[in-house]
Amino acid sequence: MTLATNNLTDEVGTGSPDFPNGMPTSAGDPIVESGSNTDGEWTRWANGTQYCGVSITIVYSAVNTIAATWNFPVAFTGDQRPSHEPDSVSLSSTTPSLEDMGLTSSQGLTTSSVTLQQRRAAGATNFASGDTATTRATCFGRWK
Share of the chain above pLDDT 70, in %: 80
Would the pLDDT of 8 be above 50? no
**Alpha-carbon gap, residue 26 to 111, rounded angstroms:** 24
Alpha helix positions (H), the chain: 88-91
Assess contact for 3 and 9: CB atoms under 8 A: yes
**Alpha-carbon gap, residue 63 to 56, rounded angstroms:** 20
Q: How confident is the model over 74-101, as a mean pLDDT?
A: 92
Q: State the Rg of the chain over Cα.
A: 19
27 pLDDT band (50/70/90 cuts)?
A: low
- pTM here is 0.78
Residues present in the chain in total: 144
Domains along the chain?
2-142 (2.60.40.3940)
Closest among 121, 119, 123, 91 to 105, alpha carbons compared:
119
**Alpha-carbon gap, residue 20 to 70, rounded angstroms:** 37
Q: Which residues contact 59 (CB under 8 A, 6 or more apart)?
A: 66, 67, 68, 131, 132
Closest among 74, 71, 83 to 32, alpha carbons compared:
74
